[in-house]
Amino acid sequence: MRNFTFLLLAGSLTVNAQYKALNPQIAKIVSEVSEQKIAANLKTLEGFGTRNIFSSQDNPTRGVGAARKWIYDQFRSYSPRLEVSYDQYRLKKDTTRGSRIQDDVDLYNVVAVLPGTSNKEQRIVISGHYDTVNLGRPAGAPPPQPGDAPPAGPRDPNIDAPGVTDDGSGTASVMELARVLSQYQFEKTIVFVAFAGEEMGLLGSTLYAAKARSLDQKIEAVLNSDIIGSDVGGDGRTENRRVNIFSEDPIDSPSREIARYMKEIGERYVPSMTVDPVFRADRFGRGGDHTPFNLEGFPAVRISTPVENFANQHSATDTFANTSPGYIARVTKVNGAVAAALAWAPKMPLTSEQVERDGRKVTNLLLTRGKSRYDAALKWKQENPEADLAGYVIVMRKTTAPDWEREIYVGNVTEYTLPEVSIDELVFGVKAIDRDGNESLVSPYVQAPRQKRTIQTY
């Protein structure tokens, strides 16, 4: 068991950062991510010419059918532990305004599941989309703008749409992490997904997320990489050591906690990268494959470059030559460290409970002012705690601060009181730590929204 050292600061117990030492297994995973293999995957994806979902389904070398079969075969080649399948749907032509389903089509997500061991019902999803589109603008037309939909009406799905950055980059990252992580065993299940139909309205991810909800799957986090191949923007700005993590409101949503976790863990294991949480659901006015998961109530984030080249997106110039395998590899290392840390980490503690009050069930937050009414008295629950659980860490920050500012290791207990600390002025949370220093996501103490009250008058 790792020994924890304590320091007494400003009258309260604060843990030394010793438990934040690198887990050697996660450091090894990071080191095994290969830029060369990512580059090779990108070139192969480009070689299919187009991966538009309406392109050829049965051509052995060109089109979406050849691409998905190759991704499927690659997943199967990585490890016998990976359970590889097609998540298949039959979509009917939709002539309603705004629909991009121009004809009947078979849609295939490609899925590889790495089953967990002691906590296999908890799932970590690592995803990107393999389909592409070329908007087919005439020569001399202005470049597409962010969020542009494909033009209305029939268009040729078989014209070149290499889509190396959008989103061959995310697909190559998912494939590389499947290759590396499938050589290890994790407590939680990791699911690798290459989605189809993103360019036609988030079709594959919408169907997959709805199915996951109907099956009552326990998805702890979705790490969706989309456009992580560009390190030079269309305006010439270069950013090859920074990545953006988009997460939905409110400020302490489960998705926001993933973004904070990615910054802490990602920068710990890949110090050459700056991981920047962006506190909005996606780029302004746009969406991605994490969005359907958010709409189904699952925590999900989008991982993306801060410097997009809009002239290349959805065009014939989104090629390997205009993509940075080195940047993709660094982002993949961040994602790999985060996914591994989560998959080995204990379950999140529960900071609330359901109780009956006045004949109805309500959520009771396990945070009070204590016996003195001037303290911060925190309680939490952990059902069936893991055998390697070391203890818990209380985190706190000012209500105006974006990130957790202070941590206190309190040991293997389920309640702790901070004397003379106001619960009105701070936000609190708690996370679980195992003996190898793997940390769960933070469970914040979040008040339920106020309900509108109706008063009867006479």
- Do 245 and 278 belong to one domain? yes
- Do 101 and 53 belong to one domain? yes
- Do 359 and 333 belong to one domain? no
| pLDDT (0 to 100) of residue 97 | 77
In a domain, 28, yes or no: no
In a domain, 211, yes or no: yes
Give the Cα separation of 200 and 87 in Å (integer): 17
Strand partners, 350: 381
Residue ending a domain, choose from 288, 315, 344: 344
In a domain, 26, yes or no: no
| pLDDT (0 to 100) of residue 149 | 55
- Do 331 and 235 belong to one domain? yes
- Do 257 and 373 belong to one domain? no
In a domain, 454, yes or no: no
Contact (CB, 8 A) for 292 and 197: no
Q: 85-117 burial, b for 16+ CB within 10 Å, e for fewer?
A: eebebebeeeeeeeebbbeebebbbbbbbbebe
Residue ending a domain, choose from 329, 344, 359: 344
CATH code of the domain containing 101: 3.40.630.10
End-to-end CA distance of the chain: 67
Residue range 344-378, pLDDT digits in tens: 999 999 999 888 777 788 888 999 999 999 999 99
- Do 223 and 295 belong to one domain? yes
Count the neighbouring beta carbons within 10 Å of the beta carbon of residue 382: 19
- Helix axis angle, 24-32 to 169-181, nearest 10°: 130
In a domain, 153, yes or no: yes
Distance of CA 129 to the CA centre of its chain: 13
- Do 133 and 37 belong to one domain? yes
In a domain, 378, yes or no: yes
Give the Cα separation of 313 and 410 in Å (integer): 49
Among candidates 306, 307, 311, which has minimal Cα distance to 233? 307
| pLDDT (0 to 100) of residue 354 | 83
- Do 332 and 378 belong to one domain? no
- Do 313 and 377 belong to one domain? no
Q: Domain range for residue 335?
A: 33-344
| pLDDT (0 to 100) of residue 7 | 33
In a domain, 456, yes or no: no
The size of the chain, in residues, is 458
CATH code of the domain containing 363: 2.60.40.10
- Do 247 and 294 belong to one domain? yes
Among candidates 113, 214, 170, 457, which has minimal Cα distance to 331? 170
In a domain, 143, yes or no: yes
To the question of pTM greater than 0.85 for the whole model, the response is yes
Number of domains in the chain: 2
Residue ending a domain, choose from 344, 362, 397: 344
Residue range 158-178, pLDDT digits in tens: 999 999 999 999 999 999 999
Torsions phi, psi for 39 (to 5 deg):
-60, -40
Residue range 194-233, pLDDT digits in tens: 999 999 999 999 999 999 999 999 999 999 999 999 999 9
Contact (CB, 8 A) for 128 and 226: yes
| pLDDT (0 to 100) of residue 368 | 95
Strands 218-225 and 300-304: parallel
Give the Cα separation of 280 and 294 in Å (integer): 12
Query: pLDDT of the chain along its 458 residues, tens only?
Result: 233 333 333 333 344 455 677 899 999 999 999 999 999 999 999 999 999 999 999 999 999 999 999 999 999 999 999 999 999 999 999 888 778 888 999 999 999 999 999 999 999 999 999 999 998 754 445 555 655 555 544 478 999 999 999 999 999 999 999 999 999 999 999 999 999 999 999 999 999 999 999 999 999 999 999 999 999 999 999 999 999 999 999 999 999 999 999 999 999 999 999 999 999 999 998 999 999 999 999 999 999 999 999 999 999 999 999 999 999 999 999 999 999 999 999 999 999 988 877 778 888 899 999 999 999 999 999 989 999 999 999 999 999 999 999 999 999 999 999 999 999 999 999 999 999 999 999 999 998 777 788 898 98
**Torsional sign, CA 245, 247, 252, 255:** negative
Give the Cα separation of 271 and 254 in Å (integer): 25
- Do 266 and 283 belong to one domain? yes
- Do 324 and 240 belong to one domain? yes
